Amino acid sequence: MAGRRQAEEARPHFFLSYARPRYRPEDGDRWVAKFFNDLCQDISQATGAHNPGFMDRQIGVGTEWPDQLADALANCRVFVALFSPAYFTSAYCGKEWAAFLSRYQAQTAGLDSPPAIIPALWTRMSMGEIPEPLHSMQNIPPEFPPAYGTEGLYGIMKLGRFREQYKETVLRLATVVKDRAAECALPFSEVPALATVQSPFSDATPGSPRPAVRLTLAAQAIGQLAPGRDPYYYGRTPREWTPFRTEKHTMPIGSFAAQVLSELGHESIVETADESPQDPMDAPGVLVVDPWAVKDRVIGKRLQQIDGDRDPAPLLAPFNYEDPETAERADALGADLAEVLPNASAVKGSAPRVTSARAFRDVLPKAVNEALTRHLRTTDVHPPQAPPSTSRPTLRDPES
């Protein structure tokens, strides 16, 4: 891990991640530096910040720039990515993204937090030039000037007739940065060393999404619970099951899993164990099972059918030890789970006792990787490239 804690007033509001052009990079840096300085000025006016932003050009000659880069990634409040064709082929831009995203995920695991990565169009780009997992990210907010979407920041800086639209674009982006920094309220935390992370774009071909993953949720609705079982972690349907619920963590586990899958570059198909199953061969699958539900007559029967399949899916079973009832009956619940799902419990990538939302985020990619491997053994398809070790970027709409 890397990054040193900075005083609160010294923490940058934003980290600017950008790709240097291959032809005469010093000229490209000059235009990026102008944009960076203009954005810093507007953010400083809006917030009074002593250190509005960080750009790696600030690092002095002879200093250990990877350390200073890690300091900025560990302390910045939000991450601004300048989208350009070169950005998605730059290993270093991808590493910056992955390191910041790892910090964000560790601090917001399971929380419905606003995205802390803010896109900015440096050049005009079609959707076909942007990796598929980023297509749902709102790259051009509707309130931004129209020339921003047609020309990008670089274009409206270079073309004098768009000077006023450039000023408005920077001002509006400063507002997004200010508001998002306040909403996310990310504290300092260390980031992975850049040498240890992989760019999430290194194996991403624009327009080529990863396979969809089927999530089968086995849980009860409130009306199905055994007498005396605390309904706090349940909802009107199994899809509302929230095993790690706290005052701040209110996201159902299915929605949380779908979010993690999106970060891995996968679409998700969410179904429940009491629903009529779809074609099991059309997508790799992962079971997410409430140990309290395996003795339910309908759910238990369906789980036994799934476990009897020739190639059962990896199993993830949330065990929230902050729930007194689960903590008290953990051994009995674990035995019930092993009795109903002996094969799935033994599958590589399974985690029969997942004790926190953060742990769930960590084990789900491993289960997905195994599900993909097992799926490819039984289907006549060309295998996708293996998932990266770092999570895919989240793609939620960055509203201003």
* Other beta carbons less than 10 A from residue 336's beta carbon: 17
What band does 331 get if pLDDT is binned at 50, 70 and 90?
Answer: very high
Considering the domain architecture, whether residues 28 and 168 belong to the same structural domain is answered as yes
pLDDT at 391: 44
Is residue 352 helix, strand or coil?
A: strand
H helix or E strand, kind and range, residue 118:
strand 117-121
Averaged pLDDT for residues 146-169: 92
* Other beta carbons less than 10 A from residue 216's beta carbon: 23
Considering the domain architecture, whether residues 192 and 217 belong to the same structural domain is answered as no
pLDDT at 162: 94
What band does 381 get if pLDDT is binned at 50, 70 and 90?
Answer: very low
Considering the domain architecture, whether residues 162 and 275 belong to the same structural domain is answered as no
Give the span between the Cα atoms of 359 and 351, in whole angstroms: 10
Considering the domain architecture, whether residues 189 and 220 belong to the same structural domain is answered as no
Which among 52, 90, 91, 89 is positioned nearest to 72, based on CA atoms? 52
Considering the domain architecture, whether residues 178 and 253 belong to the same structural domain is answered as no
Considering the domain architecture, whether residues 187 and 314 belong to the same structural domain is answered as no
For residue 149, the domain's CATH number is 3.40.50.10140
What band does 237 get if pLDDT is binned at 50, 70 and 90?
Answer: very high
pLDDT at 250: 84
Q: Checking DSSP bridges between strand 14-17 and strand 78-83, what pairing results, if any? A: parallel
Give the span between the Cα atoms of 242 and 227, in whole angstroms: 19
Considering the domain architecture, whether residues 180 and 98 belong to the same structural domain is answered as yes
Domain endpoint, select from 165, 196, 227: 196
Instruction: Read off the pLDDT of residues 53-105 as tens digits, 9 standing for 90 and up.
Output: 999 875 544 444 578 889 999 999 999 999 988 888 887 888 899 999 989 98
Considering the domain architecture, whether residues 297 and 157 belong to the same structural domain is answered as no
pLDDT at 2: 82
Give the span between the Cα atoms of 268 and 82, in whole angstroms: 28
Instruction: Read off the pLDDT of residues 247-284 as tens digits, 9 standing for 90 and up.
Output: 877 889 998 888 777 666 677 889 998 876 555 447 88
What band does 400 get if pLDDT is binned at 50, 70 and 90?
Answer: very low
Residue pair 273/340 in contact (Cβ under 8 Å)? The answer is: no
Residue pair 283/214 in contact (Cβ under 8 Å)? The answer is: yes
CA distances to 83, 126, 217 from 121, in Å: 5, 11, 39
Q: Is the pLDDT of residue 8 over 70?
A: yes
* Other beta carbons less than 10 A from residue 203's beta carbon: 16
User: Is residue 63 domain-resident?
Assistant: yes
Q: Is the pLDDT of residue 349 over 70?
A: yes
Q: What is the domain extent for residue 140?
A: 8-196
Token pair for residue 21?
Answer: 């052009």
Percent of the chain at pLDDT > 70 equals: 84
Considering the domain architecture, whether residues 342 and 311 belong to the same structural domain is answered as yes
For residue 271, the domain's CATH number is 3.40.50
- Bridge partners of residue 118, in order along the sequence: 80
For residues 390 and 182, which has the higher predicted lDDT (pLDDT)? 182
Phi, psi of 363 (to 5 degrees): -90, -25
Positive or negative: CA dihedral 322, 288, 265, 200: positive
Averaged pLDDT for residues 305-329: 91
Considering the domain architecture, whether residues 217 and 181 belong to the same structural domain is answered as no
Structural domains in the chain (count): 2
pTM of the full predicted structure? Answer: 0.56
115 alpha-carbon distance from chain centroid:
9
Which among 386, 311, 388 is positioned nearest to 347, based on CA atoms? 311
Q: Is the pLDDT of residue 382 over 50?
A: no
Considering the domain architecture, whether residues 72 and 130 belong to the same structural domain is answered as yes
Considering the domain architecture, whether residues 280 and 157 belong to the same structural domain is answered as no
